[in-house]
Structure 1
């Protein structure tokens, strides 16, 4: 199987405090890897380094064999890397479709035009693709606040 993600000797220090100290692991295609540890042990810092939100002090991150260390989060996202959080961030009074359109918004300054009726065909098309991919067609026009926790996480 192909190695999808490789983290090699990753370090992150904040002043004299080592938040991540020489972490190495790889994830092969189809494999699931868990990172566990107590609060404050560096799990979030590790993920922030992998996802380009923090610059590692030392080490490398590779995605499908490609060096992605210090790549911007938006560029990693275009490569298919994303992150989910425990806290849901949906607009409960908007539909699933509307939430997906807003989630696809990348450029500051155009959100207001979208909220006041201007349509970006590309975002709408992308939202429809996601609805199809996750088999949410029957829920596309439902209010997001009425969905189960698991459905909202999708």
Structure 2
């Protein structure tokens, strides 16, 4: 799939909100996305296919770490490599900026995401009990050493 990954802009929000709503049981609000657009540590990138938002990644770069906060791909284009492209680009960016570690949290029930993260080299390092407020589900904490990873 040919996608162009670019920094998100406010005019991308309707598409991002649709992807978010279709992808997560407790979707981020418009205000949350606006906060990501305006925060100095945040990066919000959108993958566009034929000019339409079809996926996004939100991550923070703080000191020498990347924290991936949100990743979603429109259901119509899942399993075509878009999520891998988004994460890989974020990891490359982080390495160029001097990051040494990447972190994320994932629901234990999200088996597809866990497989993707493991394929990319992330390893589970712990749990955050009751992390997801909507279900009370724990979060699996996963990390990737960017020193050992060829992003």
Q: Tell me if both proteins adopt one fold, taking TM over 0.5 as the criterion.
A: no
TM-score relative to the length of structure 1: 0.28
Structure in which a larger fraction of residues adopt strand: 2
Bigger Rg, which one: 1
